[in-house]
Amino acid sequence: MSQELKDAIVGLRMDEALTLAGQMAAGGTDPLVIIAESSEAMQTIGRRYADGEAFIPELIMGGEIMKAISQQVLPEGGAPDAGGSKGTVVIGTVRGDIHDIGKDIVVLMLGMGGYTVHDLGIDVPVEDFVAAVREQDARMVALSGLLTLAFDSMKSTVDGIAAAGLRDHVKIMIGGAAVDANVCAYTGADGWGNDVGHAVKLADQWTNGDA
């Protein structure tokens, strides 16, 4: 059924996707699994956009389906309190990029994973990231960007955090459909992912001192 769900999301068939997600939830499938499966479909839409095979309306519609599924399968208010936060993550879509679909899913996944997430929104300037790291006493920063033009902004943000004397205090991850190991090296980030589920894995590794 998970493949059927992915196909429905990629095909932008909201009613079918919601029905399948509901059936999976009713059958005992972990909500995080449903979200992860749905995010894979969103990655497919994102890749199609990057390749010129899909356009902004498809991205927006896919995001609406993803949000609707999240509202349907997750408990009201998000993840239940599991005895305290694992830590604070500052997240935002970097300056020059206004896409929030992937970011919003990562916010959701990190929250479900037990983290306190401070979401700065989209088109976020370097100084706002720096201020938030200080104010929130964050130990992790997540930089999101769908477009390749975001790479320079990611680098500028990492450099800005370093210039503020905060680099040694935070781990920085970057994410987006076009992100890879080379982009990670270019920006100076500590980790990367183009699978939203990987954000939680990275955060857990850093929290547990595994990396």
Which has more confidence, 37 or 174? Answer: 174
Residue 172 DSSP SS3: strand
Q: Which of 45, 66, 67 is nearest to 57 (CA)?
A: 45
Q: Under CATH, which architecture does the 88-207 domain have?
A: 3-Layer(aba) Sandwich (3.40)
Q: Would you kindly state where each structural domain of the chain is located, as residue ranges?
A: 2-73, 88-207
CA distance 5 to 34: 9
Query: What's the rounded Cα separation, in Å, for the pair 19 and 172?
Result: 37
Give the tens place of pLDDT for each residue, 95-154.
Answer: 999 888 778 878 877 876 788 999 999 999 999 999 999 999 999 999 999 888 899 999
Most confident of 72-76, 81-85, 112-116, 166-170: 166-170
Q: What tens digit of pLDDT does each residue of 64-73 get?
A: 898 889 889 8
Banded model confidence at residue 189, pLDDT cuts 50, 70, 90 = very high
Architecture of 2-73 per CATH?
Orthogonal Bundle (1.10)
Q: What is the pLDDT of residue 75?
A: 67
Picking from 9, 201, 18, 172, the residue whose alpha carbon sits closest to that of residue 110 is 201
For 155, residues 6+ apart whose C-beta sits below 8 A from its C-beta are 186, 187, 188
* Verdict on whether the full-model pTM lies above 0.85: no
pLDDT band at 79 (very low <50, low <70, confident <90, very high): very low
For residue 81, name the pLDDT band (cuts at 50, 70, 90). Answer: very low
Look over the chain and give the mean of its residue pLDDT values, rounded to a whole number. 88
Give the pLDDT of residue 84.
66
Question: In the predicted model, is pLDDT for residue 173 greater than 90?
Answer: yes
Q: Which amino acid type is present at position 141?
A: V
Contacts of 153 (CB under 8 A, 6+ apart): 94, 95, 96, 97, 126, 145
Return the closest-CA partner of residue 141 out of 183, 104, 108, 175.
175
pLDDT band, very low/low/confident/very high, at 77 (cuts 50, 70, 90):
very low
